[in-house]
Each structure stands twice: as structure tokens, then as C-alpha cells.
């Protein structure tokens, strides 16, 4: 395990840090304030709401306010302040998850699931896809799944599958969860807040999106795993898997303790409570943070964890999420620069002019493609939302696409690229742990990604057609 940890850390050092990429984007944004003329749309507040819709025919150029060198450095601090509530929520999520993970309940639960499925290993694939996908869809879990990679690696090899399947069961499941996120605060929540939509509205259709993607993904992975299990000679990772994978006799997996069962139950109920309170009571970040803190405290009590251990684990979990918080702050800084300089509306105007004449259905698919491309540079979902949605939301008004559909295009564009871009630190770490070369991973996933893209465009066309 120590060797695998070192590999993960080594891979993380080789990957391009998103902060570097965002720093370049920040500088480019600052330069753009000198090159792009400032402009402004008139906005009309909808009666009975805070929703301000732009008047597409009201654009006017105005005197700009280019960003100075000192302003560039100051923007980072201001960006962190602007995104403070989201950042602290992220830290609390990380701390709570780490407490639950340290109880051993999550690992034990998965191990015992495999034991129950002995001889019916293929059933494990859709089970993992739906379970991990739904957790991501409701609670935005993603990089947290790295903790499960070593166990999933061992389990898949023991089941007769390969390391490609092991990585996919976690990373790909997370992607479809984000694509059809129901109460994902970091993508849907932020995107809808920026788009001035009711929090987590439109959940029904996003559930359909998740279901379609989960079925496609499950069938693809089951076909691959069955082929490898039946014809081991076709396994391109066979020699590597035999060299590095540990053997696991699932019959010797110890059953979950009563404390672990109770801890896992509390953790699961926490997500249920969050979903219910968000839908029925209008809870948002502050309230959700409180719920997860309560979950963490209850798990500490029932697991018998000492107060010092709980505090240490919580801090460790927060530390693991700190980089994501910095990314969110940096992304917010970019948005602030564009807005303060008065060029955000200009960019919207130019984009609208470029896409003028396209149908709403084609425009929705175009938004999806654009988000895919942007996600190569900005693997952070919340960061991408902070950068793109202030632009995409009013642009959708111009193109005749609903803001809800624009958010959906962002979700899928953000999610799908995460499992193929080498700028994703968590993907590269997962591949390193399982000794999977990036070239083999890309070749394995490319057909599935193509199926996702086709399904996404079809779902977006349907969304426009039904007025979603």
C-alpha cells in the first residue's frame, strides 16, 4: 500500500496543476481587458423574483476599466472571499468523509458485497456504477473515490477482470453521477445559482439523464469485463496485473461489525436527509454543512473513535480538499476580472453573433461541445461553473435555449471530459495506482466516450423539444 501511495503522489507531481492553468487563464483575462471593448446589456428583473433577464437588443459599448498589475494579485484574495461559502462547505464534506472512511465501514461494506456476489461477479459492475454514480449525483463525491482504488483493484483482479475495469468502476461512475447530478452542490448548485434558477430545480429530467448514462456505461463495462474473464489472452493489461495486483480471497473477508454497519447507515441517511431538506425545505450550503457536521459527529460516537482521532481525521479530510478550494477561488477571480472590466457582456454579444441563425437544438449541442473543450483546461466542476455560467446563462437567452438546458449542457460537458483529460489529477493518480498507461486507458474509454457524446446530444435535443 505504501508503494501505491508513493506512485499516486509521484503521478500527482507530474500532472499539470490546475492552479497553474488557471493562473494563465487569469493573466489572459487581464490582457483581454485591454483588447476587448467593454459593453453592457440592459437587464429586466422578472416580477416576483430576483431573476434578471437580458434584453438581447440592448447591447451598447461603453468605456472600459482595464485591470492593472496590482489588481491581478488582489483578485485572487477577492475571489476566495466571493466563493467562501462554497469553499468551506467543501472542507466540511472532506472532513466528514475522512472520518467515515477511517472507521473502515466503507471498505468493509464493499468487501462484503463482493463476497455475496461470488460467482455472479458481473452483477457487481452495474451495482458499483449505480451506487457510486448516485453518491456523486447527490453528494458530489469524486476525488474521495481515490481511497477505494487499491481495494477495487484487488477485487477486480480476484473476480477475473482487469485494472481498466477497476479504474472505470470508480472514475467513470463518478463522471455519470456528475453528468446527471441531482443535488450536486458543486456543479448543479453553483451553476443554477449563477443562472438564477431555483436550487436543484429540474431534477426529474436529470435523473433520466443519469439513468440513460448509467445503463450505457454498465453495458459497456460488463461487455468488456465478460470478454476479459472468458478470454484472458485478450487482456492487454494481463502481465502488468499479474505482476502488481494483490490476491484476495473474498471468502476470508471479515463481516462488518455492528459499529461499521451503524456508521455506514448514518452516512447513507445523511445523504437522504440532505436531499429531502433541499427539495422540501429549501436548504442550501449553510444548512447542508450543518447536516454533514452532525453526520460526522454521530459517526464518531457510534464508531468509538476518540475525540483526538476524530479531530485529526477531520483536519486531514479538510486538507485533502484545500486544493479544490483554491481552484474555486482562482476561478471566481477570473470571473470577477471579466465582470469588473465590463467585457463579460461583450463576450456574450460576440458569441451570440457567432451562433446567430443556429437553431436552439443545435445551439444546445454546441454549448455541450464548448464545455467539453473548456473542461480540458479546467477539470474543476465548480471552477468551470464559476467561469462559464455567468456567460452561458445570458447567452442561452439570446439563443432561445432555456437556462435549465444550458446548465444541463454544462453538467455533461464538465463531467465527461474528466475521465479522458490528462490534466485531471485524480484520473492520473488512479491510473498510476493500478499501473495503467494513459494510452491504454484512452483507447479503452474512447468508444464509451463516443456513446456518451451521442446520448448527450440526443438528450439535449429532447430537452429543447419539451421546453425543459
Q: What is the mean pLDDT of residues 293-306?
A: 93
User: What band does 5 get if pLDDT is binned at 50, 70 and 90?
Assistant: very low
Is the predicted pLDDT of residue 426 greater than 80, yes or no? no
pLDDT at 379: 64
Within 13 Å, how many C-alpha atoms sit on residue 147's CB side?
21
pLDDT at 442: 92
User: What band does 67 get if pLDDT is binned at 50, 70 and 90?
Assistant: confident
Q: What is the mean pLDDT of residues 116-124?
A: 81
Is the predicted pLDDT of residue 110 greater than 70, yes or no? no
User: What band does 194 get if pLDDT is binned at 50, 70 and 90?
Assistant: confident
User: What band does 203 get if pLDDT is binned at 50, 70 and 90?
Assistant: very high
| Digit-coded pLDDT (tens) for 91-107 | 888 888 889 888 888 76
pLDDT at 225: 95
Q: What is the mean pLDDT of residues 15-21?
A: 61
CB neighbour class for 43 (10 Å; exposed up to 12, middle 13-18, buried from 19): middle
- Low-confidence winner among 12-21, 255-264, 366-375 (lowest mean pLDDT): 12-21
- Mean pLDDT of the residues in the chain: 82
Is the predicted pLDDT of residue 1 greater than 50, yes or no? no
pLDDT at 377: 60
Q: What is the mean pLDDT of residues 193-219?
A: 92
More confident residue, 111 or 99: 99
Number of other residues whose CB lies within 10 A of the CB of residue 413? 24
pLDDT at 310: 93
Is the predicted pLDDT of residue 223 greater than 90, yes or no? yes
Alpha helix positions (H), 180-306: 190-194, 203-230, 238-244, 258-281, 285-303
Q: Are 385 and 187 in contact (CB under 8 A)?
A: yes
Residues 266, 99: Cα–Cα separation, whole Å: 12
Please tell me the pTM assigned to this model.
0.68
Measured CA angle at 245 (ends 240, 249), to 5 deg: 145
Is the predicted pLDDT of residue 344 greater than 80, yes or no? no
Is the predicted pLDDT of residue 6 greater than 70, yes or no? no
| Digit-coded pLDDT (tens) for 125-142 | 999 999 999 988 987 877
% of the chain with per-residue pLDDT over 90: 31
Q: Which residues pair with 44 in a beta bridge?
A: 53
| Digit-coded pLDDT (tens) for 383-398 | 677 767 877 888 888 8
pLDDT at 59: 82
CA neighbor of 116 nearest in space, from 163, 166, 161, 155: 155
More confident residue, 36 or 380: 36
Burial 187-224 (b: 16+ CB within 10 A, else e): bbbbbbbbbebebbebbebbeebbebbbebbbebbbeb
| Digit-coded pLDDT (tens) for 50-62 | 545 566 677 888 8
User: What band does 18 get if pLDDT is binned at 50, 70 and 90?
Assistant: low
pLDDT at 4: 42
User: What band does 7 get if pLDDT is binned at 50, 70 and 90?
Assistant: very low
**Whole-angstrom distance between the N-terminal and C-terminal Cα of the chain?**
47
Amino acid at each position: 500500500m505504501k508503494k501505491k501511495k508513493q506512485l499516486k503522489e509521484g503521478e500527482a507531481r507530474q500532472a499539470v496543476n490546475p492552479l497553474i492553468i488557471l493562473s494563465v487563464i487569469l493573466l489572459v483575462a487581464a490582457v483581454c481587458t485591454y483588447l476587448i471593448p467593454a459593453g453592457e446589456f440592459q437587464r429586466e428583473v422578472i416580477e416576483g423574483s430576483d431573476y434578471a433577464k437580458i434584453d438581447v437588443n440592448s447591447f451598447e459599448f461603453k468605456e472600459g476599466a482595464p485591470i492593472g498589475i496590482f489588481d491581478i494579485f488582489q483578485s485572487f484574495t477577492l475571489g476566495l472571499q466571493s466563493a467562501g461559502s462554497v469553499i468551506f462547505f467543501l472542507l466540511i464534506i472532506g472532513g466528514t468523509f475522512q472520518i467515515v472512511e477511517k472507521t473502515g465501514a466503507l471498505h468493509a461494506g464493499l468487501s462484503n458485497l463482493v463476497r455475496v456476489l461470488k460467482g455472479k461477479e458481473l452483477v457487481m459492475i452495474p451495482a458499483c456504477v449505480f451506487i457510486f454514480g448516485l453518491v456523486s449525483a447527490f453528494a458530489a463525491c469524486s476525488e474521495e473515490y481515490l481511497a477505494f482504488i487499491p481495494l477495487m483493484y484487488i477485487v477486480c483482479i480476484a473476480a477475473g477482470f482487469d485494472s481498466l475495469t477497476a479504474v472505470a468502476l470508480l472514475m467513470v461512475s463518478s463522471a455519470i453521477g456528475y453528468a446527471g447530478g441531482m443535488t450536486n452542490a458543486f456543479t448543479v448548485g453553483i451553476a443554477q445559482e449563477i443562472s438564477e434558477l431555483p436550487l436543484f430545480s429540474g431534477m426529474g429530467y436529470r435523473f433520466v439523464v443519469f439513468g440513460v448514462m448509467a445503463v450505457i456505461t454498465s453495458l459497456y463495462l460488463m461487455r468488456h469485463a465478460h470478454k476479459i474473464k472468458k478470454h484472458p489472452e485478450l487482456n492487454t493489461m494481463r502481465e502488468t496485473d499479474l505482476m502488481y495486483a494483490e490476491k484476495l480471497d473474498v471468502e476470508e473477508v471479515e463481516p462488518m461489525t455492528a459499529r461499521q454497519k451503524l456508521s455506514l447507515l448514518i452516512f447513507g441517511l445523511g445523504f437522504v436527509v440532505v436531499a429531502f431538506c433541499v427539495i422540501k425545505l429549501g436548504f442550501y450550503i449553510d444548512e447542508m454543512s450543518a447536516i454533514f457536521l452532525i453526520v460526522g459527529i454521530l459517526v464518531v460516537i457510534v464508531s468509538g473513535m476518540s475525540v483526538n482521532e476524530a479531530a485529526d481525521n477531520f483536519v486531514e479530510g479538510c486538507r485533502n480538499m484545500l486544493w479544490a478550494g483554491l481552484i474555486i477561488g482562482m476561478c471566481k477571480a477570473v470571473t470577477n476580472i471579466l465582470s469588473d472590466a465590463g467585457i463579460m457582456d461583450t463576450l456574450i454579444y460576440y458569441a451570440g453573433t457567432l451562433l446567430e441563425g443556429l437553431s436552439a437544438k443545435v445551439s444546445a449541442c454546441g454549448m455541450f461541445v464548448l464545455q467539453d473543450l473548456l473542461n480540458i483546461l479546467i477539470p474543476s466542476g465548480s471552477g468551470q461553473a464559476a467561469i462559464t455560467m455567468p456567460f452561458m446563462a445570458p447567452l442561452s437567452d439570446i439563443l432561445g435555449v432555456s437556462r435549465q438546458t444550458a446548465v444541463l449542457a454544462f453538467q455533461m460537458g464538465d463531467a465527461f471530459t474528466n475521465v479522458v483529460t490528462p490534466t485531471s489529477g485524480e484520473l492520473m493518480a488512479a491510473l498510476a495506482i493500478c499501473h495503467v498507461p494513459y494510452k491504454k486507458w484512452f483507447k479503452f474509454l474512447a468508444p464509451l466516450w463516443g456513446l456518451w457524446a451521442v446520448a448527450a446530444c440526443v438528450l439535449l435535443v429532447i430537452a429543447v423539444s419539451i421546453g425543459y
